[in-house]
Amino acid sequence: MEFRTNQHGFSISTIGNERSVREALAKTRSALGDSGISDDLCSTVEIALAEALNNIAEHAYATTTPGPLEIAALLGPDGLEFNLRDRGNALPGLTLPEGKLPERDVPLDDLPEGGFGWFLLRNLAESLTYKRENGENCLTLVFAQK
Amino acid sequence: MDLQTTIHESINVITVNAERIDASVAIQFKDAMRAVTDDGPDHMVLDLGQVAFVDSSGLGAIVAAMKQMGKDRKLDLAALTPDVAKVFRLTRMDTVFDIHENVQQAAPRAAG
């Protein structure tokens, strides 16, 4: 993993697998904390980024050897912006999944064990933008500074 | 995944000795939970006091751990840290479990 700070925030270059995701999240959390971002916003960002990055490791690179994963963080006075790039498979239909909360008022055996990821992302990020360009997935997450 | 079981009268308290239950350990967690819940009392409490973070895979694995105990047995949660509580609250899965402030409250005789 390569971590670099710049005048706007920081960037991380790594590989899109689960181990690197864990490492990238830890680095992001500590970098945000060092920048004086509140604990509440730090946790919101970490929960959302965890889902976005796990999707890359588990789905974008599901059928190929995990490739590059780039995170660019822009820390502004009004908000935080994270640009995630990978070279894995595109999102189906080239659109963001709806992210409905799974039904939980069901018998024990039917309780959901997954399907929370896009719901969390849509719920926690102020905005979410997906683009496929030059063989790359580009997901942008914006969080408002409170 | 390091789980430690303490028996308090008729309740087993399972303590997760890990900082994260995430995608990279979700399957190990579920398997370890199966091993420690297979036998034992009908009422168990999962002590999450050392777990600072769960992602949706970790959340799913905790739900799976409850499901694999069967409908006649009960798995409560205790000592959720702030980020973990946030994930349960946002996904409304806090309504699926009985959640206790701490282990003492979940298993009153645990304090000794």
Domains in chain A, number: 1
Is the CB of residue B56 less than 8 Å from the CB of residue A116? yes
ipTM (interface predicted TM)? 0.94
| Mean pLDDT of the A61-76 span | 96
Cβ B56–A51 below 8 Å, yes or no?
A: yes
- Would the pLDDT of A146 be above 80? no
pLDDT in tens, B33-92: 999 999 889 999 999 999 999 999 999 999 999 999 999 999 999 999 999 999 999 999
Cβ pair A69, A14 in contact under 8 A: yes
Q: Do B24 and A112 touch (CB under 8 A)?
A: no
Give me the pLDDT at residue B110, please.
54
Q: Using a CB-CB distance cutoff of 8 angstroms, which residues of chain A are in contact with residue B87?
A: 47, 120
Interface with B, mutate which of A39, A43, A109, A110 (most B CBs under 10 A): A43
Domain that holds residue A12: 2-144
Mutate to test the interface with B, among A108, A119, A122 (most CBs of B within 10 A): A108
What's the domain range around B44? 3-111
- Assign A53 a pLDDT band (cuts: 50, 70, 90): very high
Structure tokens at A53: 């990055």
- Please tell me the predicted confidence (pLDDT) of residue B112: 46
Model confidence pLDDT, tens digit, residues A4-19: 999 999 999 999 999 9
Q: How crowded is the C-beta side of B22, counted as CA atoms within 13 Å? A: 29
Q: Which residues of A touch B (CB under 8 A)?
A: 18-19, 21-22, 39, 43-44, 46-47, 50-51, 54, 57-58, 101, 104, 107-109, 111-117, 119-120, 123-124
- CATH at A140: 3.30.565.10
Least Cα separation, residue A126 to chain B (angstroms): 15
With an 8 Å Cβ cutoff, are A120 and B67 in contact?
Answer: no
Instruction: Find the closest chain B residue to A47 by CA distance.
Output: B55
If one counts the domains in chain B, the total is 1
Q: Map residue B111 onto helix, strand or coil.
A: helix
Residues of B in contact with A107 (CB under 8 A): 71
| Side chain identity at residue B98, one-letter code | D
CATH of the domain at B44: 3.30.750.24
pLDDT at residue B108, rounded to an integer:
77
DSSP-derived pairing of the beta strands B53-54 and B20-21: parallel
Q: A75, A91, A82: which is closest to A47 by C-alpha?
A: A82
With contacts defined as CB-CB under 8 Å, which chain B residues touch A22? 20, 22, 24
- On whether the CB atoms of residues A70 and A56 are closer than 8 A, the answer is no
Residue from B34, B74, B91, B98 whose CB has the most chain A CBs within 10 Å, to mutate: B91
Segment A99-109, tens digit of pLDDT: 999 998 999 99
